[in-house]
Amino acid sequence: MIRYILWRILVMIPTLVMISMLVFTIIELPPGDYFESYVAEMRAIGEPADLQEIEELRARYGFDQPLPIRYLHWVGGMMVGNFGYSFEYRLPVSDVVGDRLWLTILVSVVTIILTWLLAFPIGIYSATHQYSWGDYGLTLLGLIGLAVPNFVLALILMYFANVWFGTSIGHLMDQEYLNQPMSWDKAKSILEHLWIPVIIIGTAGTAGMVRRLRANLLDELRKQYVMTARAKGLHPLKVLMKYPLRMSLNFFISDIGSILPQIISGAEITAVVLSLETTGPMLIKALQTQDMYLAGSFLMFLAILTVVGVLISDIALALFDPRIRLYGGRTR
């Protein structure tokens, strides 16, 4: 196992190098850069741009250098903890992310926990009561949850909240706490607003997990070892929990590779609709304005989380499921 982990870590190094090259190339593909877009935007609204300051920034951050030199400067800075400078916010990238990162983690973690708490009992019930009225009703709700996009559900809830209660359900806190340091009152405001995006974002995830858990569990319940256990008189709950449920959770463990980056990125479109103070809208704006250091560093962070998450899920699968082995044995 240790040799396998070390080998996977060594493989991660060239993988991340190739990803960094791809991210840098994609960000550089649009014509021009942030400074040209900024000058064009200022001219469009009839305001002058400080060209001298822009040229100084271009020289300071190496935008007048060839692309390979700029790439090495960007990667070298990230390796020592310097993620660069956000030209849009006029702040270092680490300062721009700041509270947005922790708010995103809070929303995502609570959403994942709520998804698990709802999906597991519903999926188990649907599989063990196949073709019952409860199964049909839960299946219908699951299909609706999968069919309705999160941002559409957000728009619907925003409309009815305004019509019925005359209130806006946008943002993660009251307006007076925006850009303010954390305090007890701000924390309470965040907790009061948290449940709305959690319900909206978790709808599709809960429905999808219920359907997958039901399908996998039904497949396991039809296998011979379950019938044998039942024939020997084992308690139905013990039969269910000891083997079929455990064997049907492989998809859940393999999802760790995608859960880690989702915790940081959040639901971007839903966050834009609800005006959430998370990293999703920030990433979209950085890509639109060609804020290279902010967008590139954030995408690289997501790539690192994805690679690490896949490694963790592979190791967990090997430990969790005895049918999976890291190395194939010779058949005798």
Give tens-digit pLDDT for 110-138: 888 888 888 889 989 998 888 889 889 98
**Cα-Cα-Cα-Cα dihedral of 186, 190, 193, 196, to 10°?**
170
Helices (H), 129-176: 133-147, 150-165
Asked if 167 and 146 touch (Cβ cutoff 8 Å), the reply is no
Query: What pLDDT is attached to residue 253?
Result: 80
159 confidence band (pLDDT: 50, 70, 90): confident
- Cα angle 225-230-234, degrees, rounded to a multiple of 5: 110
Could you report the per-residue pLDDT of 167-202, keeping only the tens digit for each? Answer: 667 778 877 777 777 788 888 888 888 888 888 888
| CA pair distance 169, 154, nearest whole angstrom | 9
pLDDT in tens, 22-35: 988 888 777 767 77
Sorting pLDDT into bands at 50, 70 and 90, what band is 326?
low
Query: pLDDT (tens digit, 9 = 90+) per residue, 34-73?
Result: 777 777 777 777 777 667 777 777 777 777 788 888 888 8
Q: pLDDT for 239-293, tens place per residue?
A: 888 778 877 888 778 777 777 777 676 577 888 888 888 888 888 888 887 788 8
Average pLDDT of the chain? 81
Among candidates 282, 270, 287, 264, which has minimal Cα distance to 96?
Answer: 282
Rounded distance between C-alpha atoms, residue 208 and residue 204, angstroms: 6
* pLDDT score at 18: 92
* Stretch (H or E) spanning 72: helix 67-79
Asked if residue 166 has pLDDT above 80, the reply is: no
Q: Which of 82, 78, 85 is nearest to 60 (CA)?
A: 85
For the domain 99-280, what is the CATH superfamily, name and number? MetI-like (1.10.3720.10)
Q: Is the pLDDT of residue 92 over 80?
A: yes
pLDDT of residue 332: 46
| Range 316-331 average pLDDT | 66
Name the residue among 165, 237, 230, 222 with its Cα closest to residue 196. 165
Q: Taking Cα atoms as reference points, which of 278, 284, 270, 266 lies closest to residue 172?
A: 278
Provide the pLDDT for residue 105: 83
pLDDT number for residue 331: 47
Which of 18-27, 144-153, 221-230, 321-330 shows the lowest per-residue confidence on average (mean pLDDT)? 321-330
Q: pTM value? A: 0.78
Whether 231 shows a pLDDT value over 80: the answer reads: yes
